[in-house]
Chains A and B, each alone.
Chain A
Amino acid sequence: QQQVKQSPQSLIVQKGGISIINCAYENTAFDYFPWYQQFPGKGPALLIAIRPDVSEKKEGRFTISFNKSAKQFSLHIMDSQPGDSATYFCAASKETSGSRLTFGEGTQLTVNP
């Protein structure tokens, strides 16, 4: 009920390409879905988040697509750059701030120049 499944575990993309990371959740009570970006030796940082009342949210080169009926959401990174190379985590929780986040397993993205 509390799991969030993330795929792929690792992803290699050429500079300028599109990176796509997928997540699936089980708990229908979840209504807040953030993505975090983590560089080596650092803590994760909030990248972008979506709520289930919309199917897509875009911020710059980063887009979240959300499919409520399938209980899936994905992160798309357009025009991927070497500086995007990092580990990406999806997560889910209830809308109320302070609710515990359940994280996916993480995707290590490498963007080759």
Chain B
Amino acid sequence: DGGITQSPKYLFRKEGQNVTLSCEQNLNHDAMYWYRQDPGQGLRLIYYSQIVNDFQKGDIAEGYSVSREKKESFPLTVTSAQKNPTAFYLCASTVWSSQANYGYTFGSGTRLTVV
């Protein structure tokens, strides 16, 4: 089955520690996205990538980093510079097209908790 796989489902981070969230898709989608979800704040864009080896900052990129070395993979690192990282992180992907918008396919998310 085609889809987006996020791992791990739950992740615990100690203060001052960097952690990496995995996002893999086998949909052959061009564009990939990372969103952060907090109660009452909707989904806020952290980073996005429309092509391999290229990515752009979203609205809340501070304290996060990404890479896009392969089309199917878009890992997100939450660095120690992110002061409030406890949240639900969602990865999404879509086809790139100038003719129509096909919407996003989301993964099932990773819940990150600082302990």
Interface size of A by CB at 8 A reads 28
Provided the pairs A105-B41, A106-B42 are in contact, do residues A98 and B95 lie with their beta carbons within 8 angstroms?
A: yes
Chain A residues 86-113 with CB under 8 Å of chain B are 89, 93-106
Q: How far does the alpha carbon of A89 sit from the alpha carbon of B42 in the complex, in Å?
A: 7
Asked if B97 lies at the interface with its beta carbon under 8 angstroms from chain A, I say: yes
- Contact, CB under 8 Å: A34 / B33: no
Stretch at the interface among B14-22, B70-78, B98-106: B98-106
Chain B residues 72-91 with CB under 8 Å of chain A are 90
Across-interface contacts of B41 in A (CB, < 8 A) = 105
Known: A97-B103, A103-B35. 19 other contacts (CB 8 A): A2-B59, A42-B108, A42-B109, A43-B92, A43-B107, A44-B104, A45-B106, A46-B103, A46-B105, A49-B101, A89-B42, A96-B98, A97-B96, A97-B97, A97-B102, A98-B31, A98-B94, A98-B95, A106-B42
Q: Interface of B with A (CB < 8 Å)?
A: 4, 6, 30-31, 33, 35, 40-45, 48, 50, 58-59, 90, 92, 94-109
